[in-house]
Amino acid sequence: MSQPALHVDVYQTISPEALAGLNNGKVAVVTGAARGIGKAIAISIAKTGANVALLDLDAERQADTKAECEKVGVKAFAYACDVTNHDVSKQVYAQIQRDLGDVHIVVNNAGGNSRRPAHMETWEQFWRGVEINVKGALIWSLLVLPDFRARRAGSIINIASRAGTVTMPFAAAYSTGKAGLIRFSACLQAELDQDGFGDDIHVYALHPGAVKTSMTIPIADDVAKEYPGMAEKWGNFHKLFRCVPEVCGQTCAFLSTGRGKALHGKYFDCEQDIGTVVAAGREGLEGLYDLKVEFLGGLPNDGGTVSSSALEKA
């Protein structure tokens, strides 16, 4: 099977024109919607016809996003919400339902990366880095889940990161949160499949691509002073980032319409041509787009007991 093409700009399969009107009458929640990738996601989904609920720490900072969404003719409401606070999130979710009606799509985008080594953070700073990248997504996924199951319909899109799949210094909290989010997405989908919801409710984890955002700016001065080599390496790496945020935005829009169900429960890199990947089908994607480990000599990841028993019998 051929490799999918890579894109750093919006392409036909995920273009606004290809997806226009496919979410008419639906409601989407987008967290971290004030700027960057979250703003692009909100606008892209609005272009599919969905009304949008925008969440960020401050409602006023989402004014531009709200205005851009309204320009395409949908309703847009902005809410102040710390998505890691369960009680606040419950209240906001209830208000969204009063303002816009039933929610059909949730994109958990809120996140952050301090780009600091663990020993240069307090426990509170470190744990906040984990929480913002996984707790908020878990809260909002589980808030909407009962309603999705009751209606047998819904889409949950979790913005993860390549950092959740590789070992990266100066990103321990960030990577911990993103790895957890990728695994949560797969486990939640497996549970939905087990209960017969696999064709109706779909969950995804996405790497947004190499997008320049506030999270990819140079590391802090005190860290750079302590680790000048790493600061230089990061600066050079950052120069390679050239994917526009709209690629992630339109990929989310594509998945929210139900066109990418072959990828449900999977981890996907938004720079890859999603049409090619989805065309491979579930069988073609078996064992791919997932977190996994490999052991010396090809031993299976079965906890050891199954293979040990098999060896003893042999």
Q: Which of 79, 174, 204, 289 is catalytic?
A: 174
State the pLDDT at residue 40.
97
Domain-embedded: residue 116: yes
Assign residue 80 the CATH number of its domain. Answer: 3.40.50.720
Could you tell me the pLDDT band of residue 2, with boundaries at 50, 70 and 90?
A: confident
Segment 139-164 shows an average pLDDT of: 96
Domain-embedded: residue 127: yes
Find, among 247, 245, 241, 211, the residue nearest to 10 by Cα: 247
Domain-embedded: residue 1: no
Q: Which domain range does residue 84 map to?
A: 12-313
Distance (Å, whole) CA 58 – CA 151: 31
Domain-embedded: residue 4: no
On whether the CB atoms of residues 158 and 141 are closer than 8 A, the answer is: yes
Q: Is 174 a catalytic residue?
A: yes
> How many helices (DSSP H) and strands (DSSP E) are in the chain?
13, 7
Domain-embedded: residue 3: no
State the pLDDT at residue 221.
86
Domain-embedded: residue 225: yes
Q: How many domains does the chain have?
A: 1
Domain-embedded: residue 77: yes
Domain-embedded: residue 6: no
Find, among 89, 33, 24, 95, the residue nearest to 58 by Cα: 33
Find where tokens 């293979």 sit: 307
Predicted TM-score of the model (pTM):
0.92
